[in-house]
């Protein structure tokens, strides 16, 4: 009987470790920029200030530029995850579309938005639009700051169409300009579509 109780205890402990490690794997890291505050990061990521404080052990309002903050994200337990829409998401999505595909056709713009939302629904990526956008090295326009420029009306409209379900990318989770990219890893993805100067891959 004692051995049985020990076995049950070990099984419960193992389950707990696996469960919470799975939850932790959904977290992502945000790098503080000039002008940021916990409130602004909270609005941008859709995570409460209290949750940010708890996860990072921050009890003051002082942040350092380039300080790395962990953004807690709990994964949904349903089979197919849906984009988590917080206020401001459409603006962020439109800014990325404008920065990454400003010179592309309207369909090409919506396709870039579709890629971002496809990542949100893919368990290998963060579960929110902000999480996907600010994932380290995910988008060049975020790394070089171009994403902070205002989005055009067309890019705003493209963001709305992407959020409403239009995905001209065909389900892609990557896109790149083959004339500018030499990265072997991205070239190893299976290309499923091409629109303008971008190819779309999985």
Asked if 104 and 199 sit in the same domain, the reply is: yes
Domain membership of residue 21 (yes or no) is no
CATH code of 42's domain: 3.10.350.10
**91 and 146, same domain (yes or no):** yes
> Does residue 198 share a domain with residue 137?
yes
* pTM of structure: 0.62
Looking at the fold, whether 91 and 66 belong to one and the same domain comes out as no
Domain that holds residue 54: 26-76
Has residue 168 been placed in a domain? yes
- β-partners of residue 190 are none
Tally helices (H) and strands (E) across the chain: 9, 5
Q: What does the pLDDT look like over 108-153, one tens digit per residue?
A: 999 999 999 999 988 889 888 988 998 888 898 988 888 999 999 9
**Number of domains present in the structure of the chain:** 2
Q: What are phi and psi of 22, to 5 degrees?
A: -70, -40
**CATH no. for residue 194?**
1.10.10.2520
Same-domain check for residues 97 and 166: yes
pLDDT at residue 86, as a whole number: 59
Answer whether residue 202 is part of any domain: yes
Residue at 20 is within a domain: no
Question: pLDDT value at position 154?
Answer: 96
- pLDDT category at 106 given cuts 50, 70, 90 is very high
Flag whether 13 is in a domain: no
Q: Work out the pLDDT band at 159, boundaries 50, 70, 90.
A: very high
CA distance 172 to 169: 6
**What pLDDT score does 105 carry?**
94
Same domain, 72 and 91: no
Q: Residue 171, by phi and psi: left (phi above 0), alpha (psi -120 to 50) or beta?
A: left
Given 45, 76, 107, the domain boundary residue is 76
Nearest one of 184, 174, 47, 156 to 194, comparing CA atoms: 174
**114-133: buried (b, 16+ CB within 10 Å) or exposed (e) per residue?**
bbbbbbbbeeebbbbbbbbb
158 and 90 in a common domain: yes
Among 35, 58, 76, which residue terminates a domain? 76
- Residue 34: pLDDT above 80? yes
* 195 belongs to a structural domain: yes
Q: Is residue 69 part of a domain?
A: yes
pLDDT on residue 99? 93
72 lies in some domain: yes
Distance between CA atoms of residues 41 and 56, nearest Å: 13
117 and 57 assigned to the same domain: no
**pLDDT (tens digit, 9 = 90+) per residue, 60-98?**
788 888 888 887 764 434 344 555 555 568 899 999 999
Instruction: Note whether 127 and 160 are same-domain residues.
Output: yes
Tally the C-alpha atoms within 13 A of residue 140's C-alpha that lie toward its C-beta. Answer: 9
The pLDDT score that the predictor gives to residue 12 is 43
User: Other CB atoms closer than 10 Å to residue 37's CB: what's the count?
Assistant: 13
């Amino acid at each position: 009987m004692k051995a049985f109780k020990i076995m049950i205890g070990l099984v419960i402990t193992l389950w707990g470790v696996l469960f919470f490690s799975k939850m932790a794997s959904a977290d992502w890291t945000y790098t503080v920029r000039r002008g940021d505050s916990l409130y602004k990061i909270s609005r941008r990521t859709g995570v409460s200030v209290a949750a940010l404080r708890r996860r990072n052990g921050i009890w003051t309002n002082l942040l350092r530029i380039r300080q790395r903050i962990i953004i807690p994200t709990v994964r949904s337990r349903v089979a197919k995850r849906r984009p988590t829409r917080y206020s401001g998401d459409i603006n962020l999505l439109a800014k990325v579309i404008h920065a990454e595909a400003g010179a592309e056709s309207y369909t090409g713009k919506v396709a870039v938005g579709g890629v971002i939302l496809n990542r949100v629904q893919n368990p290998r990526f963060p579960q929110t639009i902000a999480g996907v956008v600010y994932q380290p090295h995910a988008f060049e326009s975020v790394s070089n700051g171009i994403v902070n420029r205002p989005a055009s009306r067309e890019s705003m409209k493209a963001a709305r169409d992407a959020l409403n379900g239009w995905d001209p990318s065909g389900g892609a989770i990557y896109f790149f300009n083959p004339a500018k990219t030499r990265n072997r890893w991205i070239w190893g993805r299976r290309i499923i579509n091409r629109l303008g100067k971008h190819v779309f891959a999985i």
